[in-house]
């Protein structure tokens, strides 16, 4: 018999990612938001029959709409799309805004305040050119202490430290980019659907040495949304007209663990430059809550804003011994058929990085993958690969904020 005080699990009952991420000239910030709201509602129901009043609150993730779009009341922009104007809160934590909004939503569900909420992440960035966007994004660093830095420069320093201590090479960095661009070829949502060779990555233009253009995630437009619920029985929605087994709760992935950790904003104040300690702490908590170890995870979306960031992530999350992440990537251990599938979506590098949307997109993408599996092979050899668990890893700044989620099918 279920303990009266036992919490209901939080399930990801609906998910949506923009038609695709990219340089979306025809879509405004509001267009992206509206598409994601309608898309995620449609993912759980026939739009005609769904009563959106079941969304009791909305958590909106965004980094810089105040600068990019002159819009600093984003929670209201989202809420007014519903006839019942649900309570709405905007959450900002640089590139980790999406996963922080997830945590805020989870807290509201775990407290019992709400039973069903929406988390929406969005960023409309490409109306600024890349130099202007570089300036906006640098606001996620320590402005006073790191004056003159850019995000590529900060991650370049981390790459230099990793290369110095562990012998990580140019080829190792390139292998991350090549692999993620290859993965994105099968993702219709991806910003880039173009493969590159190791040589092309290694010879692309320099941004901040050793990081080159093809080591860097792009400036993208996009939105993503999930519907989270603690309802645990019956049909997904109370609307009687919706009665499909396909959308019953038991088929929906649940969040079984998460961790959130912080570190210093500036690199100079870090204890280590070869690990993101916040990743280590956040993942430790997430594994503990889930009752799992890194060996149990066979698929993950990690924060590869730069190629070195993925190498740091797969080591700090415990998938590979410290210092071996680059070689493991080059050896094919992080792609299909390897030890752990990293960034099947193409990651930030190739799927795109609309900053506020990224953390929500990671969860949306993996929830869909857990529910439906991943189609591998072609022709007669085509089959569905299924996963039991999945992990997301979302980083703010150069590692000052890290959130890790673990999902179960």
Which residues form the catalytic set? 95, 353
In the chain the first and final C-alpha atoms are separated, in Å, by 23
149 in contact with other proteins (CB under 8 A): yes
Site membership for other proteins, residue 64 (CB under 8 A): no
Residue that has been written with the tokens 């740091």 in this structure: 312
Q: What angle do CA 165, 171, 177 make, to 5 degrees?
A: 110
20, 115, 160, 182: which one binds other proteins (CB under 8 A)? 160
CB-wise, 62 or 274, nearer to other proteins? 274
Helix or strand run (H / E) with residue 286: helix 277-290
Compute the least distance from the CB of residue 270 to other proteins, in Å.
9
Would you count residue 368 as binding other proteins (CB under 8 A)? no
- Residue 20: name the closest of 303, 242, 350 by CA: 350
Extract long-range pairs of 383-388: CB within 8 Å, 24+ residues apart: 385/336, 387/298, 387/299, 388/296, 388/298
C-beta separation of 207 from 216 below 8 A: yes
* Helix (H/G/I), strand (E/B), else coil: 305: coil
Site for other proteins in 272-311 (CB under 8 A): 273
CB of 267 to other proteins, least distance (A): 6
Per CB under 8 A, the segment of 8-16, 46-54, 63-71, 209-217 that binds other proteins is: 209-217
Assigned token pair, 302: 């990690």
Please pick, from the candidates 30, 150, 169, 200, the single residue that binds other proteins as defined by CB under 8 A.
Answer: 150
Contact flag: residue 322 with other proteins (CB under 8 A)? no
Residue 247, interface with other proteins (CB under 8 A)?
Answer: no
The position carrying tokens 């189609």 is: 375
Q: What is the CA radius of gyration of the chain?
A: 20
What six digits make up the tokens of 86? Answer: 């649900």
* Residue 268 touches other proteins, criterion: CB under 8 A: yes
CB 382 within 8 Å of CB 376: yes
Structure tokens at 376: 């591998």
Task: State which residue, 148 or 379, has the beta carbon closest to other proteins.
Answer: 148
Which member of 70, 111, 144, 381 binds other proteins (CB under 8 A)?
A: 144
Shortest distance, position 339 Cβ to other proteins, whole Å: 30
Applying CB under 8 A, does 266 fall inside the site for other proteins?
yes
Closer to other proteins by Cβ: residue 13 or 273: 273
Binding residues (CB under 8 A) for other proteins: these are 130-132, 134-135, 138, 144-150, 152-153, 156-157, 160-161, 164, 205-211, 266-269, 273
């Amino acid at each position: 018999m279920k303990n009266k005080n036992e919490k209901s699990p939080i399930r990801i009952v609906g998910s949506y990612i923009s038609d695709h991420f990219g340089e979306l000239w025809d879509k405004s910030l509001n267009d992206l938001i509206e598409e994601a709201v309608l898309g995620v509602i449609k993912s759980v129901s026939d739009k005609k029959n769904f009563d959106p009043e079941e969304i009791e609150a909305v958590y909106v993730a965004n980094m810089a709409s105040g600068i990019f779009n002159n819009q600093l009341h984003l929670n209201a922009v989202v809420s007014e799309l519903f006839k019942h104007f649900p309570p709405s809160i905007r959450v900002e934590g640089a590139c980790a805004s999406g996963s922080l909004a997830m945590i805020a939503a989870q807290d509201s569900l775990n407290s019992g305040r709400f039973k069903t909420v929406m988390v929406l992440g969005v960023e409309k960035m490409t109306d600024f050119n890349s130099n202007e966007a570089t300036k906006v994004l640098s606001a996620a660093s320590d402005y006073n202490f790191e004056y003159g830095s850019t995000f590529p420069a900060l991650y370049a320093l981390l790459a230099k430290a990793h290369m110095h201590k562990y012998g990580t090479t140019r080829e190792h960095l390139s292998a991350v980019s090549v692999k993620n661009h290859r993965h994105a070829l099968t993702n219709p949502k991806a910003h880039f659907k173009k493969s590159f060779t190791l040589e092309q990555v290694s010879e692309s233009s320099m941004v901040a040495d050793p990081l080159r253009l093809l080591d860097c995630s792009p400036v993208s437009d996009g939105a993503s949304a999930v519907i989270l619920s603690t309802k645990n029985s019956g049909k997904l929605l109370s609307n009687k007209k919706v009665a499909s087994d396909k959308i019953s709760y038991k088929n929906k992935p649940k969040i079984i663990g998460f961790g959130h950790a912080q570190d210093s904003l500036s690199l100079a104040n870090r204890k280590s430059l070869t690990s993101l300690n916040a990743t280590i702490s956040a993942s430790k908590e997430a594994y503990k809550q889930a009752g799992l170890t890194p060996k149990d995870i066979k698929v993950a979306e990690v924060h590869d804003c730069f190629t070195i960031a993925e190498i740091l992530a797969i080591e700090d999350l415990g998938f590979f011994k410290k210092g071996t992440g680059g070689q493991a990537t080059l050896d094919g251990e992080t792609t299909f058929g390897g030890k752990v599938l990293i960034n099947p979506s193409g990651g930030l590098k190739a799927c795109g990085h609309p900053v506020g949307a990224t953390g929500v997109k990671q969860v949306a993408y993996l929830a869909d993958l857990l529910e439906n599996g991943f189609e591998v092979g072609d022709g007669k050899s085509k089959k569905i690969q299924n996963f039991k668990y999945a992990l997301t890893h979302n980083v703010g700044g150069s590692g000052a904020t890290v959130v890790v989620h673990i999902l179960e099918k």
